[in-house]
């Protein structure tokens, strides 16, 4: 054939640059259910299912439009790697050129390039227009800056794309006069709880997806996670309906309660759109436009709309920029010299720490946790315990339906573990159990006391927090954004600190 257009599992977008000059009479699409990863490491069943089911629906849509798709499904025997699949397709089609939208992962990019080079066929890698900031624009923005900060990038993005901007006396200004309404987005539910939370729209799996479910259960009998509640959007229509549902029913309350947690309320007012966005079933511009319209038509307050825009136009684009700027070496970062193994309960949810049990149990059940559960429960515990960032990163990549390396790795290595020594975030996010007590109801159901750092009821977060401060005092005591935390450490009685640190060591040994 003329062109073989390679479509990866997270590139399910009809507008993708790879299709720009597609000629159905001359070209073929190639898709491959490469399950090498899932064969090597445990991967949540819902994540495997999401990718495969969405790929199959995308293939069906292309074929309905009269396009020819060579699809290697997981039923095909032999080497399950992407590289081997591509070699076989090249041998079959002898294409003049391979065309691809740039992949979202260093490893995949290198593997495909190696196969193309070995076969001596040109591989044309086109920019990914899904993102609002190209890799080149991000590196232009970053060049010459000593430190990278989300806030600077976010303001630049708002101005550049004229989003939530208005004309003021001195030029364009942020709508509402402030760039960032984060301070209004940290409410907790208090004792009363969230009350009735609107149930998010879910999508009952069709027959094909149910067949695939059974197949996955058979092929991966030991994979973690359950499929009973699987209801993620699997195609562009469903993704649009999920967006509409979020904008109508949850966006207004999204902002204020963004950081709050509550047991048996996995989604609260969150969008549940990350998987659809990352598979490219949904365009981020659409999400931003829908949110801005909701503000303009007074369906949602500015704090919620700005909060969402900051996540999509700011954080999502920023972490991608950092991922490509830093290169594969970023994945090996370990600035805090952390080497503790990941506790087993991350894979089972079996722990009497109520917050961790609830957050991990929910991930096993749904493949989902919201941002604060990821950052301030599972991530924080690993940071305080001193878990090796690579081990933690492998867990996040395996267990969440929305996990793809370009977004997952910077969030884990940079934002959550500070393993990149502040390349991405301005400070380590550390807190005692009292933060979790304030933001959730988990501690009410726990045998530990979030205030206690010593004794039988000592909360592990609180013990490990003081130990973390003591272990890293040399690094952070003079850091402008964390100095206060370390000043409090200096006030702690020396004997008490020694006892706390002994407790932390014992905890570390018991969890190793
Ligand atoms: P909402 O909370 O409703 O936010 C709306 C959207 O904003 C999300 O759909 C997402 O696209 C975007 N967003 C929000 N925060 C971030 C962020 N920090 N980085 C990038 N985009 C953001 N997100 C992933 O998509 N995949 C991951 O593998 C992933 N791993 C993470 C690991 C850790 C340790 C942390 C702290 C965060 C991680 N995030 C990841 C970011 C964020 O937690 C999820 O995007 C969010 O929880 C998805 O749920 P939602 O769609 O309901 O999002
Ligand atoms: Fe988690 Fe500590 Fe609260 Fe228990 S007391 S739920 S371990 S923060």
Evaluate whether residue 181 is within a structural domain.
Answer: yes
Residues 6+ away with beta carbon under 8 Å from 498? none
358 assigned to some structural domain: yes
Tell the residue nearest (CA) to atom 8 of ligand 2.
Answer: 433
Same domain membership, residue 176 and residue 28:
no
Pocket test for ligand 1, best of 280, 319, 411 (most atoms within 8 A of CB): 411
Q: Report how far Cα 451 is from the mean position of its chain's Cα atoms.
A: 30
- What's the pLDDT band for 35 if we cut at 50, 70, 90? confident
Ligand 1: nearest atom to the Cα of 404? 28
Q: Indicate whether 259 and 321 sit together in one domain.
A: yes
Ligand 1: distance of its center to the CA of 408 in Å? 8
Q: Are 239 and 245 in contact (CB under 8 A)?
A: no
Q: What is the pLDDT of residues 321-341, one digit of tens each?
A: 999 999 999 999 999 999 999
Around ligand 1, the residues with Cβ closer than 6 Å are 270-274, 277-278, 308, 311-312, 315-316, 319, 370-371, 374-375, 379, 396, 400, 402-403, 407-408, 411-412, 415-416
The verdict on 246 and 365 lying in the same domain is no
Judged against a pLDDT cut of 90, whether residue 112 lies above it is answered with: yes
In a domain, 53, yes or no: yes
Give the residue whose CA is nearest to atom 2 of ligand 2: 459
How far away, in angstroms, is 379 Cα from ligand 1 center? 13
With cut-offs at 50, 70 and 90, classify the pLDDT of residue 484.
confident
Question: Domain count of the chain?
Answer: 3
Per-residue model confidence as pLDDT tens digits over 203-245: 999 999 999 999 999 989 999 999 999 999 999 999 999 999 9
- For residue 50 and ligand 2, the question of a CB distance below 6 A is answered with no
258 and 183 together in one domain: yes
Are 237 and 265 in a shared domain? Answer: yes
The answer to whether residue 338 sits within a structural domain is no
Residues 349 and 268 in one domain: no
Distance from residue 463's CA to the centre of ligand 2 (Å)? 11
437 Cβ below 6 A of ligand 2: yes
Q: Whose CA is nearest to atom 5 of ligand 1?
A: 271
Work out the mean pLDDT of the chain and round it to a whole number: 95
Residue 76 lies in a domain: yes
- Please state, in angstroms and as integers, the Cα–Cα distance from residue 471 to each residue in 53, 381, 463, following that order: 46, 15, 12
- CB 436 near ligand 2, within 6 Å: yes
Regarding whether 300 and 151 lie in a shared domain, the answer is yes
CA-CA distance, 365 to 41, in Å (whole number)? 19
Question: Is 335 a member of any domain?
Answer: no
Domain that holds residue 249: 135-221+231-326
Cα 204 from Cα 184, distance rounded (Å): 36
Last residue of a domain, one of 126, 156, 171: 126
DSSP 197: P
**Domain end residue (candidates: 107, 126, 145):** 126
Q: Are residues 390 and 464 in the same domain?
A: yes
Best residue among 442, 451, 454, 456 to mutate for probing ligand 2, ranked by most atoms within 8 Å of CB? 442
71 falls within a domain: yes
399 and 295: one domain?
Answer: no
Residue 449 CA: nearest ligand 2 atom is 5
The atom number, within ligand 1, closest to the CA of 270 reads 3
Q: Whole-angstrom Cα distance, residue 380 to residue 417?
A: 8
CA 399 to CA 397: how far, in whole Å? 6
Determine the angle formed by the axes of helices 302-309 and 284-296, rounding to 10 degrees: 170
Asked which of 126, 159, 175 is the last residue of a domain, the reply is: 126
377 lines ligand 2 (CB under 6 A): no
138-171 b/e (C-beta count within 10 Å ≥ 16 → b)? beebbeeeeebebeebbeebbeeeebbeeeeeee
Q: Which atom of ligand 2 is nearest to the CA of 448?
A: 5
Q: How far is the CA of 451 from the centre of ligand 2 (A)?
A: 9
Which atom of ligand 2 is the closest one to the Cα of 353? 7
Ligand 1 centre from 313 Cα, in Å?
12
Asked whether residue 339 is assigned to any structural domain, the reply reads no
Looking at the structure, tell me whether residues 479 and 418 fall in a common domain: yes
Tell me, what CATH number does 94's domain have? 3.40.50.620
Domain identity same for 114 and 153? no
Which range among 76-80, 190-194, 482-486 has the greatest average pLDDT?
190-194
For ligand 1, the distance from its centroid to the CA atom of residue 207, given in whole angstroms, is 30
Span from the CA of 259 to the centroid of ligand 2 (angstroms): 17
Which pTM was predicted? 0.97
- How far apart are alpha carbons 86 and 246 in whole angstroms? 39
User: Could you identify the atom of ligand 1 that is nearest to the CA of residue 274?
Assistant: 9
Given the CA of residue 432, which atom of ligand 2 is nearest to it? 8
Question: The domain that contains 248 carries what CATH number?
Answer: 1.25.40.80
106 and 198 in a single domain? The answer is no
For 412, list phi and psi in degrees, rounded to 5.
-80, -55
pLDDT digits (tens, 9 = 90+) for 342-391: 999 999 999 999 999 999 999 999 999 999 999 999 999 999 999 999 99
CA-nearest residue, atom 3 of ligand 2: 443
| 396, 403 Cβ separation under 8 angstroms | yes
Q: What is the pLDDT of residues 278-335, one digit of tens each?
A: 999 999 999 999 999 999 999 999 999 999 999 999 999 999 999 999 999 999 999 9
Task: Please report, for the domain that includes residue 386, its CATH number.
Answer: 1.10.579.10
Q: Is the ipTM of this complex over 0.95?
A: yes
């Amino acid at each position: 054939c003329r062109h073989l257009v390679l479509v990866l599992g997270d590139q399910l977008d009809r507008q993708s640059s790879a299709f720009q000059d597609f000629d159905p009479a001359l070209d073929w699409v190639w898709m491959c259910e490469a399950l090498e990863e899932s064969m090597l490491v445990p991967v949540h069943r819902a994540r495997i299912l999401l990718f495969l089911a969405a790929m199959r629906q995308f293939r069906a849509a292309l074929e309905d439009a009269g396009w020819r798709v060579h699809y290697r499904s997981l039923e095909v025997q032999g080497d399950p790697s992407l590289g081997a699949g591509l070699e076989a397709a090249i041998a079959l089609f002898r294409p003049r050129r391979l065309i691809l939208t740039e992949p979202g992962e260093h490893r995949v990019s290198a593997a495909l390039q190696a196969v193309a080079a070995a076969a001596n066929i040109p591989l044309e890698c086109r920019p990914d227009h899904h993102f609002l900031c190209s890799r080149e624009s991000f590196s232009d923005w970053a060049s010459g800056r000593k430190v990278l900060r989300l806030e600077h990038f976010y303001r630049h993005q708002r101005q550049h794309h004229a989003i939530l901007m208005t004309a003021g006396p001195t030029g364009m200004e942020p709508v509402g006069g402030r760039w960032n309404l984060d301070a209004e987005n940290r409410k907790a539910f208090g004792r009363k709880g969230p009350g009735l939370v609107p149930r998010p729209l879910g999508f009952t799996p069709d027959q094909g997806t149910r067949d695939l479910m059974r197949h996955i259960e058979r092929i991966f009998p030991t994979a973690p996670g359950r499929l009973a509640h699987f209801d993620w959007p699997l195609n562009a229509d469903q993704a649009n309906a999920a967006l509409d549902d979020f904008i109508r029913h949850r966006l207004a309350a999204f902002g204020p309660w963004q950081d709050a947690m509550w047991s048996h309320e996995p989604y609260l007012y969150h969008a549940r759109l990350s998987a659809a966005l990352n598979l490219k079933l949904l365009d981020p511009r659409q999400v931003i436009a829908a949110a801005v319209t909701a503000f303009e038509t007074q369906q949602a307050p500015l704090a919620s709309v700005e909060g969402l825009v900051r996540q999509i136009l700011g954080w999502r684009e920023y972490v991608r920029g950092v991922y490509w700027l830093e290169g594969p070496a970023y994945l090996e970062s370990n600035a805090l010299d952390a080497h503790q193994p990941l506790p087993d309960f991350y894979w089972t949810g079996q722990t009497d720490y109520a917050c961790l049990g609830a957050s991990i149990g929910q991930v096993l059940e749904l493949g989902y946790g919201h941002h604060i559960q990821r950052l301030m429960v599972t991530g924080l515990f690993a940071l305080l315990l001193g878990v090796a960032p690579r081990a933690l990163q492998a867990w996040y990549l395996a267990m969440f339906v929305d996990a793809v390396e370009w977004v997952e790795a910077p969030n884990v290595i940079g934002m959550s573990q500070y393993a990149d020594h502040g390349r991405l975030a301005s400070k380590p996010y550390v807190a005692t159990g009292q933060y979790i007590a304030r933001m959730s109801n988990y501690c009410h159901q726990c045998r530990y006391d979030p205030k206690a750092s010593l004794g039988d009821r000592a909360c592990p977060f609180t013990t490990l927090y003081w130990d973390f401060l003591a272990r890293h005092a040399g690094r952070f005591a003079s850091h402008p954004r964390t100095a206060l935390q370390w000043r409090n450490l200096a006030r702690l009685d020396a004997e008490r600190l020694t006892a706390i640190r002994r407790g932390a060591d014992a905890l570390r040994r018991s969890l190793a």
